[in-house]
Amino acid sequence: MKQYAITEKTKDISLLDEELCSDELVSIDRKELNETIRLHQGMIFKFKEIAGQFIHTLCDGELVYRLGLTPSHVVGKQLIGFLPEQITKRKHLLYERAWNGEDHVTYEAELNGIHYFAALRPVIRNGEVIEVIGSCMDITDRKKVEKALLESENKYRLIAENMTDLIILFDRQGKCIYASPSHETVLGYPPEYFLSQNTLHLIHPNDTSLIINGFEEVNKTKIPLRVEFRLLHAEHGWKLFDCTATPVLDEDGEVEHIMVVAKDITEKRRAEELLWKSEKLSLVGELAAGVAHEIRNPLTSIKGFIQLFQQGVRNEEYFNVILSEFNRIEDIIKEFLSLAKPQEIQLKSVSIPSLLKEINTLMKPEAYLKNVQIIIDSDVSIPLVMCDANQIKQVLLNLCKNSIEATDGYKRGLLIISAHIEDKNQLCIQVVDNGIGISEERLKRLGEPFYSNKEKGTGLGLMLCFRIIKEHKGTITFESKENLGTTVKIRLPV
């Protein structure tokens, strides 16, 4: 009996020790759980419905303190106890949904400048909700990024919807994936028109191959391309556009999209044509005085021979001289009238040495009046060049006229026009004078409209020269030193 009593007592002590150890473990687990919750970057909370009110039974985590609260502000209190009334009403509805068993209630909110995302989940036992657990995470940085993206998107949308330039985005296959609203105001077609079908038929037939080849070139070279082409307006015929196609590359450096920005330059080009004609008429008027002087010389000779015929003096050689003088007059008039021809570019095979002789014929009268000597120096082996003779002639006339006007009145002027081949496939025409020259500051701005080296000049003449050479796929450059003269180099593809 005694042994049995000792054994039972030992069992009781063992059970008591086990209970104590279990309580200690539970206490330790709760302590670790509380520390884990407190160190959580977000926030964890619980609430129950007590007497018709939602009372918080737990709240902890780093986010609590960033929101300007502490667990003591929340635990044991309902929403109105620590939140403004306007926020409380909305959250109370969300709490009700979770307490009524809705499995996953989420919402976003903001407090004291901190944005957070919250999720509520009910704890159900025996078919009843006994409490609701909520978890929150800080989304302030994400909200800032979203706000910045939204502002940027709104800004670019505002620009795209109100600008007059056309903006259109293509994929690599040439399919339109975006067209700006300006298409409707500029071309008369809604943006959807470009998204639903191939619109190559809107491009002028003469420009279609240029656009197709240009698109392939951008895809291949990944380099932006600038071209001019014509598009068909819904009501007003063809419009001229200055277009820039820019490749948009993906992460691997491959072309993902091609963005095209096009500007309507129809009216601008018409204005340039009017300025062109005005400048041309001005040039013709100024040349007229010199031409009249040059024509007067052969007319004087012809008049003298006719007077001799009236007096009965007759010599066969006189007829040859008279015919030669008439041919001279005819050449001058023909070259003078050629300036009034239409300026649409017409490429033909042109002999540059012959063209320079014609320039000499036209400029010689004015050069004579200004005491300027003209020297033509061209290589006879220069091949025929594809260009518009009248337009290149107008460029050279403008340059020669400027050189003659720039001569120093105290010394004899010299104007040298030469032509030779560079690099086997490029023609170089040089106009060199010994005039007063151009300062470095003025040299940089040559070619700008209404900026001239002359006191009363408009600068339109040089602007048109630059444009003509550009249309011929060439370049024009100026080299000058004050009081030493100027050299102009025109380079054209042979």
Write out the DSSP string of 243-306.
Answer: EEEEEEE-TTS-EEEEEEEEEE-HHHHHHHHHHHHHHHHHHHHHHHHHHHHHHHHHHHHHHHHH
Dihedral sign of CA atoms 223, 227, 230, 233 in order: positive
Q: Strand, helix or coil at 90? A: helix
pTM of the predicted model, to two decimals? Answer: 0.40
DSSP state of 191: H
Task: Please report the pLDDT score of residue 16 as a whole number.
Answer: 45
- Block mean pLDDT (10 aa), the chain, length 494: 49 50 52 65 91 91 89 90 86 92 90 91 92 92 87 72 78 84 85 80 87 86 88 87 88 85 86 73 64 72 79 76 78 60 71 88 80 86 86 87 80 88 84 86 65 47 80 88 88 85
Contacts for 101 with CB less than 8 Å, ≥ 6 apart: 122, 124, 129
Dihedral sign of CA atoms 305, 308, 309, 315 in order: negative
Task: Please report the pLDDT score of residue 364 as a whole number.
Answer: 81
Task: Please report the pLDDT score of residue 394 as a whole number.
Answer: 82
DSSP of 451-492: --SSTT--SHHHHHHHHHHHHTT-EEEEEEETTTEEEEEEEE
Task: Please report the pLDDT score of residue 94 as a whole number.
Answer: 93
Q: Which two tokens stand for residue 11?
A: 């069992």
Q: Which two tokens stand for residue 63?
A: 């986010």
Task: Please report the pLDDT score of residue 155 as a whole number.
Answer: 72
Q: Is the Cβ–Cβ distance between 414 and 372 less than 8 Å? A: yes
Q: Strand, helix or coil at 121? A: strand
Task: Please report the pLDDT score of residue 20 as a whole number.
Answer: 44
DSSP state of 363: H
Task: Please report the pLDDT score of residue 416 as a whole number.
Answer: 92
Task: Please report the pLDDT score of residue 123 as a whole number.
Answer: 93
Q: Is the Cβ–Cβ distance between 111 and 68 less than 8 Å? A: yes
User: Would you tell me the crossing angle of helices 389-405 and 352-369 to the nearest 10 degrees?
Assistant: 30
Domains belonging to the chain, first-starting first, are 20-142 (3.30.450.20), 152-264 (3.30.450.20), 270-493 (3.30.565.10)
Q: Is the Cβ–Cβ distance between 374 and 364 less than 8 Å? A: yes
Task: Please report the pLDDT score of residue 100 as a whole number.
Answer: 92
Cα-based distances in Å from 393 to 61, 205, 320 = 85, 30, 30
DSSP state of 131: E
Q: Strand, helix or coil at 202? A: helix
Cα-based distances in Å from 459 to 271, 279, 365, 449 = 15, 10, 24, 5
b (16+ CB within 10 A) / e for 400-426: bbbbbbbbeeeeebbbbbebebeeeee
Q: Compute φ and ψ for 163, nearest 5 degrees.
A: -80, 155
